[in-house]
Amino acid sequence: MLEKKEKSRILYADVLRIVTIFAVVVFHVTTNRWFSAFDSPSEWHVINIFVAGLRWCVPVFFMLSGMIFLDPNYNITVKKLYTRTIPRMLCALIVWSVAYRTLSPLTAAFLDIKELDINDFHRIYSEIFLGTPWHHLWFIYPLIAMYMLTPLLRLFTAHAEKKHYIYFLILYFIFGSVIPTINARLGIHISFAIPELFTYTGYFIAGYFFAKYDLTKFERNIVYTLGIASLVVTYILSTATAMEGGHPMTQFFDRTGPNTMLSAFFVFVLVKNLVNNSPKLLSYENNKHITNLANCGFGIYLVHDFFNIILNILNIHTGTFPALLSVPVLSLLVYAASLLVVLLIKKIPVLNKWII
């Protein structure tokens, strides 16, 4: 999520940041109606295409962070981590947690849904330290954990060869994804899983691996085939379980599930390959507009849910008009409004360094 401080930008990484943050916006716009739209099959199936097809977005953010922070050439020290990087993340977490948790009860009171209660505001402090204070801010907690592990993980990336990364990713896929999924979804208890070790660490290392090594055509085709298959299977399974159960189910949407993992790898490798093999696209390297959009990604992530709240207050959602049209229109609206706010904050000293 944080950008490498170099004169020369990595174009495909910037493109991935832009594409991924827009995917996050689309995902959250559509999930607002994913459950309630089930009574309207035509609308729900369109929404489910977006929901099932965009589960890769946040894992790709972890991969982008790993791509930078695990690079032995990137100048990051323990001192810098604990005096700058992590404090900035904590500051952003606290500021936006307070903002969202203050807005939530005020919005409920405005809509006559619930009277203001002082305990609603007291919850802000406990939820910041004991749980996720707002649904999309969960991402900051594991990201900080990854930053804390960075000095140790860099020892691995500084000395590992390609075969070591492949070995690690195979272990990650089996013990950090497949076995936990079997345990959780099929009720077959397999004790030999290591979720505490893997979780998002695998995405972090995978990002650096896919950035460092150019896969052979055969290897890319494997990633593409598995990635596309995982997207199709995710949609089919989410649709089938919803039809069978009578309501949408999230059991195949785990962020570290095999289908999500394979689709995240697919998107990362696809964008890297498309950009790096296109002279026309590479001509946009260091383009200031692309750079600015990419640098606004984390801020947009933090800000965008305010506009989802506003749309809910105005009773505007993907069911207001046909979902095939409303999803892209509302997503572009939320993205543009969020971008505008972030650009304004970037002009404010201190705030531009500490809250976005």
Q: How many residues does the chain have?
A: 356
Confirm whether pTM is higher than 0.85.
yes
Mean pLDDT of all residues belonging to the chain:
89
Query: What's the chain's Rg over C-alpha atoms?
Result: 21
5, pLDDT greater than 50: no
The pLDDT assigned to 276 comes to 97
Query: CA–CA separation, 102 vs 124, rounded Å?
Result: 8
Residue 5 in domain:
no
pLDDT for residue 340: 98
The pLDDT of residue 193 is: 60
- Tokens representing residue 132 in the block: 């996720």
| 2 in a structural domain | no
| Distance separating alpha carbons of residues 26 and 214, to the nearest angstrom | 30
Per the CB < 8 A criterion, the answer to whether 234 and 53 are in contact is yes
Tokens at 211, concatenated? 């950035």
**For residue 169, what pLDDT is reported?**
94
Question: Is residue 321 scored above 60 in pLDDT?
Answer: yes
The pLDDT of residue 1 is 45
Select the highest-mean-pLDDT range: 5-19, 186-200, 340-354: 340-354
pLDDT tens sequence across 20-63: 999 999 999 999 888 888 888 888 999 999 999 999 999 999 99
CA distance 331 to 334: 5
C-alpha angle 64-28-197 in degrees, rounded to nearest 5: 45
pLDDT at 252: 87
Place of tokens 């002009």: 347
Report yes or no on 6 lying in a domain.
no
Q: Sorting pLDDT into bands at 50, 70 and 90, what band is 152?
A: very high
The single-letter DSSP state of residue 138 is: G
For a pLDDT cut of 90, what percent of the chain falls above it?
64
Residue 223: inside a domain: yes
Please tell me which residue, 114 or 144, carries the higher pLDDT value. 144
Predicted confidence (pLDDT) at residue 110 exceeds the cutoff of 80 = no
Kindly write down the DSSP assignment for every residue of 55-98, as one continuous string: TTHHHHHHHHHHHHHT-TTS---HHHIIIIIHHHHHHHHHHHHH
What is the mean pLDDT of the segment spanning 170-178?
Answer: 89
The pLDDT score that the predictor gives to residue 113 is 64
In a domain? residue 1 = no
16 is in which domain, residue-wise?
11-354
Instruction: Encode pLDDT of 117-139 as tens digits.
Output: 777 666 667 777 777 778 899 99
- Residue 338's nearest CA partner among 306, 316, 313 is 306
For range 187-216, the mean pLDDT: 83
Distance CA 143, CA 145 (A): 5
CA gap 127, 106 in Å, rounded: 18
* One-letter amino acid for residue 4 of the chain: K
User: 16: which residues sit within 8 A by CB, 6+ positions away?
Assistant: 60, 64, 267, 268, 271, 272
Total number of domains constituting the chain: 1
